[in-house]
Structures are given as structure tokens and as C-alpha cells.
Structure 1
Amino acid sequence: MERITATYLIETPNEPERAAAVLAGEQSSGTFVAVPGESAELKARFAARVERIKHLETVAQPTVPTGRAPAAAYHRAEIEVSWAVENFGANLPTLMSTLQGNLYEIAQFSGLKLLDFTVPAGWGAAFRGPQFGVAGCRALTQVQDRPLIGTIIKPSVGLSPAQTAAMVQELIEAGIDFLKDDELMANPPHSPFDERVDAIMAVINTHAERTGRKPMYAFNITDEFDAMQRHYDKVVAAGGTAVMLSLNSVGLVAGKAICDRGMLAIHGHRNGWGMLNRHPLWGMGFAAYQKYWRLAGVDQLHVNGIANKFWEPDDSVVAAISACLATEPLGRPVLPVVSSGQWGGQAPETWRRTQTVDLLYMAGGGIQAHPQGPAAGVRALQRWWEAAVAGMDVAAAVARYPELAQSLEKFGGKPKAAS
């Protein structure tokens, strides 16, 4: 029987072997006491199995309260637990309920984080995964051999459809590849969704007719389910190529239903991610998170960026990019969306750390607050990436392309001498 295996980081006042056994029992065929029908044959077929335990450090204080009297010590370990695929069927919500579910309630854990999970190819084949992914998004935007350069419409709220369309016009004429609504902008009274789509797509379609190239705009359809379906249809009818979902707001079921329609690229925004991941011993790791959404069918997924404006360290960002670009599951990578306080000067370090141009590199203020305006911001980002892939650091890039000194001064300080 094929099995799905999950890796956890745990902290427990018990011996890790005992805590792992409790986890396996709680999330499969066991409960707190033996019950009729819990036969040896049934347990052999359906019970979760502890596959590996790696003991780590012991600490004096619990990471989170356990609801029990204090213990003498709390033991940390990395464990692997597996389940027969027969326990799930082709059911992502049940997979999530099993791999996480009640685990965070169990008193035997003062720390628990789902780091990653693996699925067998046969089980994963029930899911299509990303309809577009890296290759499809490149085909839609006609961008090869470099990152897609994108921006977020700012200010986040307050602009009318006409004002938004005017901004889009300026940006696409400057050569932008991708634009999107902010996660705070969906269908407000000051910018009704249908009116915004009509205004923006009129600009994009006219540009495409004239140039043969259609920039991608991801309209935020996050809403109640029926409204999301209507808004998806509106974007299709208007000639759009993408929509955006706030993944943690709509959930796996609604998200997968939208992805399954397959006509538009799905830009997955992970706003709210910090509540799932920020604590080092609680929640879920990005490797696991992106697999849920890859199986659901998201094509693009946010990963923050180098020297981002949020809390996430660069090493974590690099690992997230690598996780998105890994081929498994399904052999269909997700396009990493590098965002959060980005501007062109982070491109050299992003290239040095990742050695990939399979990115959607987005800057909001880093484009639109450029001293010479948004169009100059787009051109600067393109030039920064040319320099980065050529192996230049920030100082060398400014020495080679003096116009980059303006964005460096605005967003990153005074230029240093080229080495």
C-alpha cells in the first residue's frame, strides 16, 4: 500500500517516542482508549506508522502552554509519520485534517510544526496541479530567459477604475510584464469589479492589438464563492489571462474549485501566512504549504524576497523559492512570486542566492515611487536584472548603468565604489 509521509518538528514533555505514537494514533485508527472493532487487522491496514525519530535538544521551558503541570524538561525531535493513501482518497481537505487537524490540540505537545510531506506519484496523479505554472505564465506573457517584472497597483484602495486604467496604461507602455490588484482591493464601492475589469482590459487589449504582446493582470476575485465564479467569468469574457486569490481567506476547497476551471492563471497570495509559519516551533513550514496549493492547482505563489520588509530571513526566502521550483509533486513547478518591499537593488543578491530567473519579481513602491515615475521604475528593474544575471553586484551595476543611481539613492542609500 502506498503511503503519504509527513515530517514534523515537535517539542514534548514526554519521551518523543511516546508523543509520536500519540500523534499517529490520534490521526488514524486510535483514540485515548481501546474500543470495540479496533482489531489488529484494521490497525495493520489503516493505522499511521512512526517511521523515524531524530532526537534534538532538551529545554527547560515549554514553547506553548500544554494545559498540564510543568514538566522537568521538554524534548525536541524531528519525526516522520506515514499513512496509507487508502485513508484519504483524492481529498485535499482530508489530507490537511490528517496531517494537521487535532495535532495542535494534543497536550503531549508543547511545540509542533509540519515541516513537509511527500505523496506517492499514483496518489498525486488524481490532481492536475498548476494548469500554467512557470512555462505557461511565460507563454502567456511572452517573456523568456529573464524574470517576469511585475507591480502591484498602489495606493491599495481609493483609485477609481479610470484612475487605475490610466496607471496601467503608463506601466504597460513602459514594458511591464505583470500587474495585479492589491489583496485589499476586490469589489469595493469606489471601484466595482466589473467596471475595473472593463477599464483595465480595454487598455491591455488595445496594447495587445498594437504590439502583439499582452501583459498579464491578476484581478483579485477573493469573495464569496458565487461571486468568485461570476468574477472569473467576467475576466475570461474580457480577454484577461489571470486572477488572484487570497489563499488563506478562501481556503483549499474554494481555491481548488477556481483552479480546476483551468482558463486563467491563478496568482496565489498568501496574506496571513505569518500566523501559520512565523513561530519556529508551531504551525507549518512553507515546503508543506506550497504542496497543498500546488496540488490544488495554483500557478504562482508568493515567497517574500531578499531583504524584504517583513520578518522572514533571506535563507527562508531562498528555501521557499527552491520549494516552488522543485518538480515534485506532479512534475509541475509553481512560479515563485518575489515580493514585499522589493526594488531593483535586491536583484543581484537574489540571483546570487538562487541562480534562477524563473521568478515573478514584483515591486510596488519600488516601481511606482521611482524619482522619475513608474515608467522609469519599470526600466530600472529590467536593467537591475540584466546586471544581476551578468554577475554584477550593486556597485558594479551602478558603475555600468549610471541611471540606476537614482533608484539606489531612493530605495537603498548612496552607491558604493565598484569593486
Structure 2
Amino acid sequence: MSGDRIEADYLLETPIDPRIAAEIIAGEQSSGTFVPVPGETPELKARSAARVIRLDILDEDAAGPALPGASPAADGRFRRALVTLSWPLETLGPSLPNLVATVAGNLFELKAVSGLRLLDIRMPSAFAAAYRGPQFGIAGTRRLAGVDKRAMIGTIVKPSVGFSAEETASLVRKLCEAGIDFIKDDELQADGPACPFADRVKAVMRVIEAEADRTGKKTMYAFNLTGDLDQMRRRHDHLVESGATCLMASLNSVGLVGMIELARFSTLPIHAHRNGWGYLARHPMLGWSYVAWQKIWRLAGADHMHVNGLQNKFFESDASVMDSARTCLTPLFPEKPCIVMPVFSSGQSARQAPATYAGLGSTDLIVTAGGGIMGHPDGPAAGVTALKEAWAATVAGISLEEHARAHPELGRALEVAA
């Protein structure tokens, strides 16, 4: 890729010749419009227009239209193709909000498109210089959580909502005593009257600090500060004053600019939650791939990125989950890798440890098991122990069933997760 151009890959379905459709998209997303206009000279196009630099036909007779509102196919046939477009950096500069408007703007609405999915983005190094990227990433997260090389074992406060601040702290005490590494608010728990943010921070940090004084290990807790910019700044400052070591924000709620600004003032790791991801990705011929989407948020400043989990409760396949996790560990730029910690969640238990480790090839991850810990027959503390033992056995190359013979907490967990 040229150092001064942006590239984006798409899966295109169209009722017309894919080459013509690709040129329509390129024109719509750069110098063109639906009719010729004065000033759109050949010189301007050469300088500013998007280019179609790759087009590979995949299917000459697709089962489309995948999406409503497309033009009818004159011959009754819909075609699919892989398309790569390229834009000059000088038309928008190294701006993430304007990058999104360029690569994921009006192109989805075009009648020449009966299906379109953004698969990947490649940005020139000017973006690396313009944005902070993750401040903490894997190394900083491990340092603050006191976890060196093994997988980080975590959970979500469950029930998701309904606990008071003191009830939340009571559960956190049990989890800290069990040696858990990481706890997070559920994304539904923010600053409601039933459990105000400040009260929850005070109650939870009192427990975490007391346990840290006793054992030397300070559990990382990601407090959900999702809100408008002023609220997030105030909540961030309160977390810092209270000795917290992590915060959480819902990406699709705070938006790209909200995330960029949060990362600019934050002095804590940012646990980025992707709730709402389904409306961007569930249809296979619309929206974003995670590979493309996560690059935006990593560069904006996320330190942890949710990637779903194996055998999850949602629509996503295991192969997609592992692709998502691996891409979090893949450098964005040579000069600024922007590596972030993938977070596995959604129906996770001791059972998924072997396949997760085999697929990722690394212990640089956070496993957040809600029911897998809270639902252990012998209580949350046993759930934490079971998950730790599952990962210890997996990394050592021991089957879970064999390891469970000498570790009853793991054995009980396997019975429940069978």
C-alpha cells in the first residue's frame, strides 16, 4: 500500500456489473455525485477520486438480493465480488471520524448495492502519529492487575442490575478472597439511583484496598463510566482519586469521538465493551467485519476489546470469535503496534479453556465468566478456582478431566458445564 493512501476491502453484492458498481461506490465516496457537475475535471479526479484497485468476482449467480431497496437485476442475476478501494490521504487527513464517513458512509444505501460488508481497512502511518492508541495494553494491564504470564481470570457482577452498592461490594469481597484477577460492571450498570456510581466506587474500592493490604494483590475492577463527555471526565477523576485501576466504556454508546476524548484524558486502562455489535455485523452482507471495526477503536485508545467467546450464547461462530481475538494481537503499524488485550465473554466456563488457548496460541487474554463463576455449585470462590485450574491444566497440556481428579472445584464445574 502507498504510504499516503487509505485502503478498504469490501464484500459486494450487486444487481449490475460489479465493475460498474465498484466505480459507482468509489465516485459516491470521493469526488463524484449522481450526475456530472462542473469542476469535476480529469485533473481533479486524478488528484482526489477514490480508485478501484482490486475486483475479484466470487459468484456470478448469487441468491440475492441480500438487502431490500436495490435496483432490480436486468437479467435476474446478482453477483458478488471482493473489492478494494483506495483514497488519497490528502482528501481527509488522518482523522478517524472522517475515515469512517469515507469507508462506511453512504455506500451502503446505494441502489447499485444489494449487499455490502466492510472487511478490512489499512491506514497510512499518519494515523499512527495522530492518535494515542492504547496507553496500557497487555503489559500495563498485567502490571496493574499483578498477573504476569498466565491468562487473566475475571467475571462480571451478576445479577447485571439490582444490587445496591453494598451488595455489589459484598460479592466483590468473596471474589477477591478467591484470588480473582479482574471484575467488571455489567454494561447495564452505570449510575442509576439504585446503585449510584460514586457509592459503588466507594464500597467496592474499600473492599479491594482492604484485600490488597492483606494479600498484596489488588484486583482490577472496570467501573462502567459510560455517559456524556462531562460525566465521563468527572467519573474518571473520581476513579483516579479512589485508587481504581480500570474503567469501562460502551463503544457504541459513547461513539467514536467520545472514545477518542476519553482516551486523551484517561490515566487508567480502558476496557472497551462492544455491546450492540450485532446490529453492525449480524447480517453477512451488511455492515462491518470485526477485523475492520476493532482497528478504529484500538487506535482511538482502547486497552481491552471484547471479542465474544467460544460456544457463546450469541449468533457468532467460533471461527469468527478466534479471528477477532487474533486480530487484537496483530500490530496495526510497525511504529505503533496498538496491541490490545482480547476479552472473552458470553457463556464462558472452564470447558472453553483448551479450545480458546489452542485457537489464540497465547495467554494474553482476559476470560470473563459470569455464570461460569457465579453459577458454580459451591459458590463464586470455587468458580474462580475452577477457571484458574482449567487454564493451568490447559497450558500444561493436561486434559481437564485428568486435572479434575485432584481438583474438585474443576470437577464440579465440568459437571455443570457438561
Which TM class, normalised by the smaller chain length? over 0.9
Q: Does 2:119 align with 1:115?
A: yes
Distance 1:282 1:299 in 2: 27
Per the alignment, residue 369 of structure 2 pairs with: 363
Q: Counterpart of 1:68 in structure 2: which amino acid? A: S
Per the alignment, residue 296 of structure 2 pairs with: 292
Per the alignment, residue 384 of structure 1 pairs with: 390
Q: Is the 8 A contact 2:13 2:64 kept in 1?
A: no
Per the alignment, residue 416 of structure 1 pairs with: none
Q: Secondary structure at the match of 1:260?
A: helix
Per the alignment, residue 348 of structure 2 pairs with: 342
Q: Is the 8 A contact 2:70 2:112 kept in 1?
A: no
Distance 1:210 1:405 in 2: 29
Percent identity over the alignment?
A: 51
Q: Does 2:64 align with 1:64?
A: no
Q: Does 2:400 align with 1:394?
A: yes
Q: Secondary structure at the match of 1:358?
A: coil
Residue 193 of structure 1 deviates from its aligned partner by 0.7
Q: Counterpart of 2:312 in structure 1: which amino acid? A: N
Task: From the superposition, tell whether residues 396 and 353 of structure 1 become closer, same or farther in structure 2 (CA, over 3 Å).
Answer: farther
Q: Does 2:56 align with 1:54?
A: yes
Per the alignment, residue 323 of structure 1 pairs with: 327
Q: Counterpart of 1:245 in structure 2: which amino acid? A: A
Q: Secondary structure at the match of 1:159?
A: coil
Residue 400 of structure 1 deviates from its aligned partner by 5.3
Distance 2:332 2:134 in 1: 12
Per the alignment, residue 144 of structure 2 pairs with: 140
Q: Is the 8 A contact 1:152 1:180 kept in 2?
A: yes
Residue 35 of structure 1 deviates from its aligned partner by 1.1
Q: Secondary structure at the match of 1:55?
A: strand
Q: Counterpart of 1:315 in structure 2: which amino acid? A: A
Per the alignment, residue 271 of structure 2 pairs with: 267
Q: Is the 8 A contact 1:85 1:123 kept in 2?
A: no
Distance 1:105 1:377 in 2: 48
Distance 1:394 1:311 in 2: 27
Q: Counterpart of 1:9 in structure 2: which amino acid? A: L
Report the number of matched residues. Answer: 412
Q: Secondary structure at the match of 2:316?
A: coil
TM-score normalised over the length of structure 2: 0.96
Residue 33 of structure 1 deviates from its aligned partner by 1.5
Per the alignment, residue 8 of structure 1 pairs with: 10
Per the alignment, residue 215 of structure 1 pairs with: 219
Matching residue within 405, 410, 414 for 1:408? 414
Per the alignment, residue 358 of structure 2 pairs with: 352
Distance 1:373 1:33 in 2: 67
Moved more, 87-96 or 112-121: 87-96
Distance 1:78 1:268 in 2: 30
Distance 1:398 1:306 in 2: 21
Q: Is the 8 A contact 1:341 1:365 kept in 2?
A: yes
Q: Is the 8 A contact 2:15 2:114 kept in 1?
A: yes
Q: Unpaired runs of 5+ in structure 1?
A: 414-419
Deviations 1:194-235 (A, max 9, x none): 111111111112222333322111111111222111111111
Per the alignment, residue 187 of structure 2 pairs with: 183
Distance 1:131 1:290 in 2: 16
Provide the alpha-carbon RMSD of the alignment.
1.3
Per the alignment, residue 94 of structure 1 pairs with: 98
Q: Unpaired runs of 5+ in structure 2?
A: none
Distance 2:44 2:337 in 1: 34
Per the alignment, residue 253 of structure 1 pairs with: 257
Residue 402 of structure 1 deviates from its aligned partner by 4.4
Deviations 1:310-353 (A, max 9, x none): 11111001100111010114312111000000011110111122
Q: Counterpart of 2:307 in structure 1: which amino acid? A: V
Q: Is the 8 A contact 1:131 1:262 kept in 2?
A: no
